[in-house]
Structure 1
Amino acid sequence: MNLISATRSITKFASKKIRNRRNQEAIASRPSIFSFSPQGDQKYRGALYFADGMVNAYQARQWFEPLRQLADRTPLVVIVRNAETAVQLQKECPLPIFYAKTIGDIEMLLEEQEIDAVFYVNQNIRNFQMMRFNRPAHIFISHGESEKAYMWSNQLKAYDYVFSAGEAARERLGKNLSGFDPVQRTRLIGRPQIDVNYESPVNLNPNLPTVLYAPTWEGDRPSMSYGSVSSHGKSLISSLVANGGYNVIFRPHPRSGINNIQYREDLLTIKKELLLANASSSATLVYDESPQWGWQWAVADICITDISAVAYDFLATGKPLMITTPVSQQATVDDSPALLRVPSLSTTEAQNAAAIVGSRLEAQDDSYADLVAHYFGDTQPGASMQRFITSSMEIIKGENHTDSTSVQEA
């Protein structure tokens, strides 16, 4: 390591220490907020456990509204293990934040409260510090439905229940996990996020169709290399911008560029192109860094994305969708019903994205109704949210779930 790199590392470490101390002080000065323990019938009955830093806060954010609606039925809390995350989420989360610096803080909370269900949105290794406690039911709700290998991790066996979107998830788990009964261990809840109304932060040209390009990140291992920013993104965006006939929302995954410098540089290239072109284009060109994920579904007419949760979020809308073909030969690709039927987009085709998008919009393909039902069950307004609340309350109340399909069909 040269002197410049060493200096940068020391400076970064020092800055992190200073931020952490300030956040710890902010929490200590407000115990009524960050360590509040209600009594009586206001005792917490459920909790979202989130041990991550703010880089992964997007995983928890998408559950805030479903959990807020569940909290109308029973008191809930968000247990946070990172000081900065606790301070930041307290400003935006509709639920109370409990900062648990140590495992002793969690023990105290469980002793004083009546928490019967704990929800998890990711596979953070610190989840297992919480899962050592036997009393609550431990429920994996994930942060999205996808065909990534992540969705059939053997770690799912550690949870009492897995909340899945639909029958496709059960098939995926039954195919890839041994010794795991997907009928008994899963609850089919659809995708409650599609029942949330998100306000758009941008004003798009109403006379033009809108393309949402939402690639995933580069991944942290070869089998998870699904990101298309470097392989498809630059030529895809250039094609759409040059055409001038489309509003464009470019929504990169929040973790993009963390592990790959070239990926990060390609993001900057796209950002500069969009900002420069937007100044003179009649189309609205957006480099989307907004904290909320959901409003994009409502305003977009078509979506281009990678093998990721975005594909399945958008699939539920019934609008045209295209999924990029990974260029990495090591990326795990499953022959799922969605990947076999939804049109793909290769690197070569990305150079002609504008024309291909036009053809897809003109086709008005509405042949995915059965596919949507297979992945999400009933997608009528409010149906997924109700299934999530019903399943959660059954577990919190300790009620038996005798019919594995009754919740899905409710």
Structure 2
Amino acid sequence: MTPRSVLRAVLGQLPMAAAIGLALVVIAVLRGQHWPGVVAAIGTAGAVAGLPLIGAVHGPNPPSGYRLPGYRRPVPVPTGRWSQGISALIVMIMIFMILFLPGWLVFLGMLLAWLGLLINLVTAYLRRRGRPRHREVLHRAVAAYRPRFVIYTGRRNDASYQLAMWVPILERLQLPYLVALSFPEALASTRAITKAPIVLLPTGSDLDAIMVPGLRAAFYVNGIAENSTLVNYRNLTHIYLGHGDSDKELSVHPMHGMFDRVFVAGQAAIDRYGQAGVKIPASKFVIVGRPQTAGLRGAGRPIGEVDPPSVLYAPTWRGYNAHTTLSSLPVGPAVVDALLRRGVVVSFRPHPFSWLGARERSEISAIDDLLRRDRDDSGRPHRTAAEHRNTPVAEEIDFSDALVTDIGSVLVDYFATGKPYAVVLPPGQSPTTARTDLPSTAAAYLISYDTLIGGPDQSVEQVLDELLVKDPLAGRRPAVARHYLGEQPGDDRPFLDAVRRVIGHPEPAR
């Protein structure tokens, strides 16, 4: 807390407080309130202007734990959105009092608002001074719990699908563990996918709270820069898991070199780093297969014998920038229209991040509408995105006989099924160089993005004929699957054994 931060907090609230004060004064005058009511209106505006001081005095939230045995969370101090809510409540109460109560009671209400502000300011100051004590209380509770590893993400938004990809696999170790978060925004979605204790550590020094004897490893499900805060603790072995293998640019980020181990599904991932010029010592790579693909249903018979076939359409999200713009969702209606005209059953599964943007939600809705109309007309049991948003992707893969997707991890996971797949190439990508530029398309049927603009052309029909009838690339798929997923793609033993070697824990008796 600095004088500048305090001043900034008050000045930021001042315009709204002035407008509230003016409105309350006008109401008081119109209601015939005398000086107590008018002074109360002005005083209320002052209290509203002072509410942001609570957050400035309080600073970041203290570290806290959830579902951690023997730990009791501190009572929260109203900051941020809570302050805005309190402002609205104070104003509504004062309007009611000005309208229906005498001036001296309105004045008393204003004094009570100021008293509440002062109490919260004192509480916020004491909470700030007591931060080290809160950290020590959390540290003792974590030490008593005795976790062997931690799953960490510094991501602010909902990336629960990334955690959900690994939590069930890591729980097969049957060892106590923690999930550590930096931002409270990620808390609700994380609590929905694990019953393990969760610790919220808003600042870098709060990570001290989980540094306890017996903690051996930290796992990372994404490669965001905020992860480096925990990587600085060299008493742990830091393991990058990622959230799926693909030819996406972020799959070979130079930042992955900061981890002690980089767990990959197969040799293709290791080769990709070298091809991108990202130098990571070979000793850091560990091939562990792709345990998430265990139990996926393979092709029961050639695709040409399935009538009607079920096709999973799974476009990726729009990405961060021009280099990661790989999504076919903007031309998704053309993809789905081409599939519907062939009489197939369509299951639509957009990337979880596509639900976060207004434009992407509109595109999802347009495709869902297409599927609902055809379902009503034809009776084919199409699966819309909205109706199956929470369905595990493995179930969607099992439902399908073929896949149409973009460059991404769904494509690589689908390799484990042996079923045919088509890839909508990124905008501007030539099909003639795609298999060189994007090696994961080595056994894919290729759809040019440009051929879908304005509706699918005849070349798309030819690709779908190969995908759903002829399947001339069937013989290539096994070798591609081994290169990307290893020799045992659905076996969790290589992964679990690699983790046990790191944390020094033997396999439990069976």
Sort the TM-score into its range (normalised by shorter chain).
0.7 to 0.9
SS in 2 for 1:313: helix
Task: Tell me how far 1:355 sits from its aligned partner.
Answer: 6.5
TM-score by length of 2: 0.64
- Aligned counterparts of 1:187 and 1:267: Cα–Cα separation in 2: 37
2:296 and 2:416 in contact (8 A); partners too: no
The residue number in structure 1 matching 2:204 is 103
State which drifts further: 100-109 or 352-361.
Answer: 352-361
Question: What pairs up with 1:156-195 in 2 under 5 angstroms?
Answer: 156-181=256-281, 183-195=282-294
Letter in 1 for 2:344: Y
In structure 2, what is the equivalent of residue 10 of structure 1?
none
Equivalent residue for 1:339?
441
Match of residue 66 from structure 1? 169
CA contact (8 A) 1:68 1:94 kept: no
Matches within 5 A, 1:96-135: 96-110=197-211, 112-135=212-235
1:378 to 487, 492, 496: 487
Change (3 A) 1:28 1:135: closer
Q: Which letter does structure 2 place at the counterpart of 1:214?
A: A
Deviations 1:291-311 (A, max 9, x none): 633212212110111111111
Is 1:271 the counterpart of 2:271 in the alignment?
A: no
Could you say which residue in structure 1 is the equivalent of 2:346?
248
The amino acid of 1:62's aligned partner reads M
- Secondary structure, counterpart of 1:248 in structure 2: strand
| 1:86 correspondence with 2:187 | yes
Q: 1:160 to 1:264 in 2, by over 3 A?
A: same
What is the alpha-carbon distance in structure 2 between the residues aligned to residue 82 and residue 109 of structure 1?
Answer: 16
Is the Cα contact below 8 Å between 1:215 and 1:253 reproduced in 2? yes
Report if the CA contact (8 A) 1:37-1:113 is conserved.
no
User: Which residue of 2 is the match for residue 4 of structure 1?
Assistant: none
> Structure 1 pair 54/188, CA: closer, same or farther in 2 (3 Å)?
same
- Greater relative contact order (Cα < 8 A, sep 6+): 1
CA distance in 2, matches of 1:64, 1:357: 37
Q: Which one of 347, 367, 382 corresponds to residue 476 of structure 2? A: 367
Tell me the CA shift for residue 380 of structure 1. Answer: 6.1
CA distance in 1, matches of 2:190, 2:359: 31
How many Å separate the matches in 2 of 1:95 and 1:278? 41
Aligned 8 A contact 1:225 1:326 in 2: yes
Q: Which has the larger radius of gyration?
A: 2
Q: Is contact 1:239-1:351 (8 Å) kept? A: no
Map 1:195-234; keep pairs closer than 5 Å: 195=294, 208-231=308-331, 233-234=332-333
SS at match of 1:391: helix
- What CA distance in whole angstroms lies between the structure 1 residues aligned with 2:143 and 2:230? 22
Deviation of 1:356 after TM superposition, in Å, equals 4.1
- 8 Å Cα contact 2:68/2:141 also seen in 1: no
Rounded to whole Å, the distance in 2 between the matches of 1:345 and 1:75 is 47
Q: Which residue identity is paired with 1:138?
A: H
* Cα contact 2:246–2:409 (8 A) shared by 1: yes
| Correspondence 1:389 to 2:462 | no
Counterpart amino acid of residue 162 in structure 1: V
CA pair 380-48 structure 1, distance change in 2 beyond 3 A: closer
Name the Cα RMSD after superposition.
3.2
SS of equivalent residue, structure 1 residue 326: coil
Aligned to 1:357: 464
For 1:241, the aligned partner's letter is L
Matches within 5 A, 1:319-330: 319-328=419-428
For 2:457 and 2:207, the matched residues in 1 are separated by 52
Q: What does the per-residue CA deviation read over 1:179-237, in whole Å, with 9 as the maximum and x for residues that have no partner?
A: 422x2110001111012679xxxxxxx97321001001111211111111113x11111
Alpha carbons of 1:178 and 1:147: their partners in 2 closer, same or farther (altered >3 Å)?
Answer: closer
The answer on whether the counterparts of 2:153 and 2:221 sit within 8 Å (CA) in structure 1 is yes
Shift of 1:318: 1.1
> What are the superposed Cα offsets for residues 31-79 of structure 1, whole Å, 9 maximum, x if unpaired?
6478694557x61111110222453221111112111112x2x322211
Q: Which amino acid aligns with 1:293?
A: V
CA drift of 1:276 comes to 3.0
Secondary structure of 1:322 counterpart:
strand
SS in 2 for 1:303: strand
Q: What is the identity, as a one-letter code, of the residue corresponding to 2:291? A: P
TM-score (normalizing by structure 1): 0.78
CA distance in 1, matches of 2:279, 2:465: 47
Sequence identity, in percent? 25
What is the aligned residue count?
360
Which structure shows the bigger proportion of residues in helix conformation? Answer: 2
* Distance in 2, Cα, partners of 1:29 & 1:154: 34
SS at match of 2:383: strand
- Quick check: 1:62–1:293 contact (8 Å CA) kept in 2? no
**1:158 Cα deviation after fit:** 1.0
The answer (yes or no) to whether the contact 1:62–1:193 under 8 Å persists in 2 is: yes
**Aligned residue in 2 for 1:285:** 382
1:299 partnered with 2:399: yes
- How many Å apart are 1:96 and its aligned residue? 2.8
Find the residue that maps to 2:503 and give its secondary structure.
helix
Q: Distance in 2 between matches of 1:166 and 1:28?
A: 36
Question: Could you list the runs of 5+ residues in structure 1 that have no partner in the other structure?
Answer: 1-6, 8-16, 18-23, 199-205, 400-410
What secondary structure, in the 3-state scheme, does the structure 2 residue paired with 1:286 have?
coil
Is this contact kept in 2: 1:209–1:247, CA < 8 A? Answer: yes
Going from structure 1 to structure 2, the CA distance change for 1:314 and 1:28 (only over 3 Å counts) comes to closer
The CA deviation string for residues 143-195 of structure 1, in whole angstroms up to 9 with x for no partner, is 010001111111111111111111111111122234422x2110001111012
3-state secondary structure, aligned to 2:151: strand
